[in-house]
Structure 1
Amino acid sequence: MKISVVVDMAADGFADRVLVGRRSTGLTAARLRAVSRAGARRIRAAGADALLYLGVNGPAFPVALFAAAQAGVPLVPVNYRLGGEQLRSLLARHPQALGLGGPVEAALLREAGITALTFEEWLETPAEADEDIDEHADPEAVAAIIYTSGTTSAPKGVLVRHRNLLAYVFGTVEFASAGEDEAALISVPPYHIAAVANAITNLYSGRRTIVLEQFTPSDWLDHVRIEGVTHALVVPTMLARIVGAASGPGGDLPSLRSLAYGGAPMPASVIEAALRRWPHVGFVNAYGLTETSSTIAVLGPADHRAALASEDPAIRARLSSAGRAVPGVELAVRGEDGKDLPPGETGRIWVRGGQVAAEYTGSGSATDAGGWFDTRDQGRLDEDGYLFIGGRADDTIIRGAENIAPAEIEDVLLGHPDVEDAIVVGVPDEEWGQRIEGAVVLRAGATPDSETLRAHVRSRLRGSKTPDRIALWTSIPRTETGKLVRRDALRLLLEATGSEGGRRDG
C-alpha cells in the first residue's frame, strides 16, 4: 500500500470537496487524484527515478507528493535556500530525476542537467485519463527522501517509506473526521517532514489545506481571518511574533480551533501568552523528527489548560514538555550504558514504532536489533510518561569534567522578562576544555546588560553553569523551522573575540 491510497479514499469519499488551496480556486479531491495520476504518467514518460521539488510550498506540492507515489518514485523536496555549491552538490545526487520549481528554480535545475518543469507547467498537466497506473504497490517503496537540516553536520538523506507515513496517518487521524468548513494553514517549508505529513493527514481527514508561502505575522493573521482557518501549524519563533502582532485589532481569530507548534523548544512565556490571548483555541505541542515520519509525542489541549491552571509545580512544568507518545510509538530514556533510566533522570531519547524510518541514503538503517532508534536528543520522562526535551546530545558542553546541557541555560535566559531569544554554546578553552558563552536578543525597549543577565542565570543555576560571556545580538541564527544553528552562533562568538580558543578571564 502506498500513500496514494489516501487520495483515492478522499476522491471516493468526498470528490467535490475543495481540499487544496483557496476555497474559490482550489483543487477538489477528484481533481487532485486526476492531476496526480497525470503527473505520474509524466514522471514515467521521462524515465525519472525521482521527483525533485525545488521551491516554496503551494498547490504543486501535494500533487507532486502523490504523483511520485503513483509513479513509484520518491519525492525529494530540496531546500531552496541552500547556497549555490550546496545546492549543486545535492542535485548531483539525483541526475536521473525530473525536477519541479518556480521559473528561477526550474532554470537552476536545467543548468544542473536535470529535466525540469515549472510549477505552472506541472499543474497544467492534462488530466483527462484517470485510470490507476500503480501496477506494483511495493510496501517497502520509498515515498520521500528528505534531507536533514544539517545544523550540526552535512545534510543526510532520510529514506521515508510509504509504510512509515501510513503508520503515522492511520495511527493518529480518523478518516473523514473533518467538517466541510475546516481549513488548515501550513507555514512550514516543503522540505520539512511536517509539510509531507500534513499534506497527507489533512487530506485523509477531509480538511482543506492552505499554504502561507512567505511568513509574516500580519499575513498569517489575515489568512486565518479571510479563509476561515480552523487549524494551523507554526514553529515557536512564528508563534512569538504572531502573539505580539495579535495584541492589536484583528487578533481575536474566532474561526481558529486548533494551533499546533513544534520543531524547536517553546519558551513558556510565549505559550502562556498565547493561551491567555486565545482561550477558545486548543494548543498542541508536537515533537518528532524526520527519521520518525513526523510526530511521536503530543501535548494536547487539555494538558495545556491543566498546566496553565495548576499550582502544582510538577503539573505546571508540563507546559514545557513534549507530552506523551502517540499511539503505536514507544518511548524510552536510556543512560550511556544503554539501560532504561527511571522517571526524572536525563538521558538519550529512544523511540520504536511502525512510523520510525531511521534509514539513510548510503548507510542503511540506524535502528538497533530491537528496532529502537536513538534520536540523539536528550530528555527525561516524568512518572506519568510526559517527555521533557533537553536538547541534542551533540550540543552538550563539557566544562572540566561536567556535562552541561545548553538548553537548560537557554530556558533560564528566556525566563528573563527582557529576553526575546537566546542561544548558548561551548567555546574552546585551554583551561576548562570548553567555556560557556551565549547571546540574547532583547525585547524592544529593554536595557539589561550582559552582567545583569549573567547574574540572573547565577541566581537560578549553580555558578559552573553561568555563561562566561553573554553577547547582545539583533537576531539568533535559526533554521526556517526554528531550530538553533549552534555552529553559526559559535562562529560569530569566536569572530567577535578574534580567536578560536584560549583562556578568557572575567
Structure 2
Amino acid sequence: MDLPFVAATLTRRGLLTPGNPVRIAAQLGALRRWGWGLAGELRQAAAREPDRPAIIDEDGHELAYAELLDRAERLARSLRTAVGVRAGDRIGVLCRNHHGLIETIVAATLLGADAVLMNSGLSGAQLATVAGEQRLRVLVHDTEFADRVTGLPADLHRLDEQAREDLVTGASRGELRPPERAARIIVLTSGTTGAPKGARRPTPAGFGPLVSIIDRIPLHARDRVLIAAPLFHTWGFAALQVCLALRATIVLHRRFDPTATLTALGAHRCDALFAVPVMLQRLLEHPAPDPRPPLKVVAVSGSALPGSLASAFMDTYGDVLYNLYGSTEVSWASIAAPADLRTAPTTAGRPPHGTRVAILDDAGLPVPSGRVGRIFVGNEMLFEGYTSGAGRERRDGLLDTGDLGRMNADGLLFVDGRADDMIVSGGENVFPAEVENLLAELPQVREVAVIGVPDPEYGQRLAAFLALHRGETLDEEAVREYVRHHLARFSVPRDVVFVKYLPRNATGKVLTRELRRHHG
C-alpha cells in the first residue's frame, strides 16, 4: 500500500495530529516492540491517551485505556505463573461482549498464546469437540455457560468470571516482554451447516488493513462506538481492532437488545454502531427515538443485507449505512457506501484500496461483466488456513470465497449466494438469494429465507419461509404470484411456509439445516 495514500487517510481520520512528544514516542515504541496485533494496538492507545475511556459497559462503568492494559497485563502474568500458560498454548474464550473478553484475548497475545474465540451458541457437545480439536489448555468462560462446560476434559483449566477476576487482582509483579512466538487469533466458522472449523487469522503487518477500512467507512480517532456484533465473530473482532487503533471509546452490552441499544446510542452520544443486518431489522421494529442518535456510521457485515432493509434503515436514520462483504477466510472483499446502496440496494459495493476481486469461471478464467461466477479475493488479511491443515482454493494470489456473484459495468459487486446454495431445478440454475431479496420487499414480510429442497421430478425446488410482521396476513398463492410476476417461472417457490421467526445463530445467520428439518 502506497505511503502517500496511507498518510492522507490517517490524516483525514484524525490519527496524524500533533500531541505530547513523549507520548507519541511511547506510542510508536509500543507498536515497534509489540507489533500490530491486539496487544500492540492496546499498548499504543494507552501510551498516547492513558486516561481516555476505553470501555463503557451496559451499567455505565468505564475503564480507561491505561486501566484496561493494566488488567490485561496482570491477567497475563497470573496465567503464566498460576496456570502455566506458555507461548504456543491455546486459550479458549467463551464470553459475551464485555471487558473480560478483551482482557483475556490481550493477555493471551501478551504471552504468545493463541486465543480461540468460541461461539456463544455452541452446545456442550460442540464445545467438547472444539476443545479437543483445538487442543485447548485453558477455557475462560462467562458464568452463564457453566452448565455447558461440565463435559469438557478434566485436564482443561476452566476459569469462570470470578476465577478470572481473582487472577487479575492477585497477579504477581514482573515485566512482560514481547514473546518470541507471535500469537494468533483463531476464529471459528459459524457452523450453520455443520461443525465449526478453526480459521487462523493473520496479524496485521502495518497500517494497511486499518487504512483500507477507514478510507471507505468514515470512522475517526476518539469516536464513540457501540459494538453490538459479537466480539467472537470476525466482524465484531474487526470492529474491536479498528476501535483500538483509533483510540475510540467502545460501548458494550453482553446481549443485543434493541431498546437498550437505542438508549445507549443516545446516552453515550455514539458516533458509530457495528452490527449484523438482523439487528437493523430489530431496531426498525421499535419507534425511532426523538431526537435520533447522533450516528455518523452504521457498519454491518456477517450475513446478507436485504436491499429493502438497507433502504428502510436509511430512510429512518439517514444515509449512514455501510455494508462490508467478507468472510472469516478473506476478511473483507468489498464495502458498499450509502450512495452505492441508494443506487443499487442489493449491492455489496466496491473493493477498498489494496483489495482485488475477480469473478472467475470453473476453469479459473475471468467472466464477462454481468455474468455470474465464483468470487475470488486478494488482500493483506487472507486467512492462514484452517487449524485442521485444510485450506481454500487459490488462484493468482486470490482466495476462493465459496460465493457466487457478478460485477456490473460500474464496478459494483453483487453476491448471488453460496456456491453450494445454488440449486438446479428442471435443468435451470436458481439462486435462492434473488428470491429472498424480492420477497423481503413485501410490506407484510418481517424476514424471509429461501432454500433448496429435494424434488422427485425436478431434482430440487425452492421452499420459502416467511415470518410476517405482527397483525399482517399473506397467503401462499399471493407469494407465488408475486414471484411469478417479477422472476422466471423456475424461481417461483412451490413450497411456502409461514413461521413465527427464522432460526438464527449467535451472529444472525439463518440456520438452513433447521429450516430443512422444519420442512421435513
Q: Normalising by structure 2, what TM-score?
A: 0.85
The answer to whether residue 88 in structure 2 is matched with residue 52 in structure 1 is no
Alignment correspondent of 1:502: none
1:64 CA drift (Å):
1.6
Alignment correspondent of 2:269: 228
> Residues 132, 273 of structure 1: CA spacing in aligned structure 2 closer, same or farther, 3 A cutoff?
same
Write out aligned runs for 1:95-174 (5 A).
95-105=135-145, 108-109=148-149, 112=152, 113=154, 114-123=156-165, 125-126=168-169, 129=173, 131-136=175-180, 138=181, 141-163=182-204, 167-173=208-214
Alignment correspondent of 1:29: 65
> Residues 84, 177 of structure 1: CA spacing in aligned structure 2 closer, same or farther, 3 A cutoff?
closer
1:331 CA drift (Å):
0.7
> Residues 366, 470 of structure 1: CA spacing in aligned structure 2 closer, same or farther, 3 A cutoff?
same
Alignment correspondent of 2:335: 298
Write out aligned runs for 1:210-249 (5 A).
210-247=251-288
Q: Distance in 2 between matches of 1:96 and 1:77?
A: 11
2:262 aligns to what SS in structure 1?
A: helix
Q: Distance in 2 between matches of 1:91 and 1:165?
A: 32
> Residues 104, 260 of structure 1: CA spacing in aligned structure 2 closer, same or farther, 3 A cutoff?
closer
Alignment correspondent of 1:260: 299
Letter aligned with residue 338 of structure 1: G
1:34 aligns to what SS in structure 2?
A: helix
Alignment correspondent of 1:81: 121
Q: Which of 52-61 and 95-104 deviates more?
A: 95-104
Q: Distance in 2 between matches of 1:132 and 1:178?
A: 31
1:166 CA drift (Å):
6.8
The answer to whether residue 354 in structure 2 is matched with residue 328 in structure 1 is yes
Letter aligned with residue 298 of structure 1: I
The answer to whether residue 476 in structure 2 is matched with residue 437 in structure 1 is no
Alignment correspondent of 2:106: 66
Q: Distance in 2 between matches of 1:261 and 1:179?
A: 20
Q: Which of 359-368 and 482-491 deviates more?
A: 359-368
> Residues 164, 427 of structure 1: CA spacing in aligned structure 2 closer, same or farther, 3 A cutoff?
farther
- How big is each residue's C-alpha offset from its partner over 1:83-120, in whole Å with a ceiling of 9 and x where there is no partner? 22112211223455222112243575465222122234
1:219 aligns to what SS in structure 2?
A: helix
> Residues 80, 102 of structure 1: CA spacing in aligned structure 2 closer, same or farther, 3 A cutoff?
same
| Kept in 1: contact 2:189–2:197 (CA 8 A) | yes
- How big is each residue's C-alpha offset from its partner over 1:28-87, in whole Å with a ceiling of 9 and x where there is no partner? 222222222222223333233112111212111211221111110111121222222112
1:459 aligns to what SS in structure 2?
A: helix
Letter aligned with residue 26 of structure 1: E
Letter aligned with residue 306 of structure 2: P
Alignment correspondent of 1:312: none
Alignment correspondent of 1:394: 420
Identity %: 28
> Residues 358, 424 of structure 1: CA spacing in aligned structure 2 closer, same or farther, 3 A cutoff?
farther
1:236 CA drift (Å):
1.5
Q: Distance in 2 between matches of 1:297 and 1:329?
A: 8
> Residues 336, 177 of structure 1: CA spacing in aligned structure 2 closer, same or farther, 3 A cutoff?
closer
RMSD of aligned C-alpha atoms? 2.4
1:296 CA drift (Å):
2.9
| Kept in 2: contact 1:165–1:355 (CA 8 A) | no
Q: Distance in 1 between matches of 2:145 and 2:226?
A: 24
Equivalent residue in structure 1 for 2:322, among 258, 262, 284: 284
2:308 aligns to what SS in structure 1?
A: helix
1:251 CA drift (Å):
4.6
| Kept in 2: contact 1:101–1:117 (CA 8 A) | yes
Equivalent residue in structure 1 for 2:511, among 480, 485, 496: 485
| Kept in 2: contact 1:299–1:322 (CA 8 A) | yes
| Kept in 2: contact 1:149–1:155 (CA 8 A) | yes
> Residues 348, 44 of structure 1: CA spacing in aligned structure 2 closer, same or farther, 3 A cutoff?
same
Alignment correspondent of 2:44: 9
Q: Distance in 1 between matches of 2:95 and 2:476?
A: 40
Equivalent residue in structure 2 for 1:354, among 373, 377, 380: 380
2:199 aligns to what SS in structure 1?
A: strand
| Kept in 2: contact 1:109–1:115 (CA 8 A) | no
1:376 CA drift (Å):
0.6
Q: Distance in 2 between matches of 1:441 and 1:396?
A: 22
Q: Distance in 1 between matches of 2:328 and 2:278?
A: 20
Q: Distance in 2 between matches of 1:193 and 1:478?
A: 17
Alignment correspondent of 1:469: 495
Alignment correspondent of 1:41: 77
Letter aligned with residue 11 of structure 1: A
- How big is each residue's C-alpha offset from its partner over 1:271-327, in whole Å with a ceiling of 9 and x where there is no partner? 222212223x5211111111123x3311123434xx2xxxxxxxx32x221111122
1:482 aligns to what SS in structure 2?
A: coil
| Kept in 2: contact 1:298–1:326 (CA 8 A) | yes
Write out aligned runs for 1:361-400 (5 A).
361-368=387-394, 370-400=396-426
Alignment correspondent of 1:20: 55
Alignment correspondent of 2:483: 457
> Residues 96, 148 of structure 1: CA spacing in aligned structure 2 closer, same or farther, 3 A cutoff?
closer
2:486 aligns to what SS in structure 1?
A: coil
| Kept in 1: contact 2:56–2:249 (CA 8 A) | yes
Alignment correspondent of 1:196: 237
Q: Distance in 2 between matches of 1:211 and 1:162?
A: 24
Letter aligned with residue 133 of structure 1: R
1:258 CA drift (Å):
1.2
1:460 CA drift (Å):
0.5
Q: Which of 390-399 and 380-389 deviates more?
A: 380-389
Q: Distance in 2 between matches of 1:116 and 1:270?
A: 42
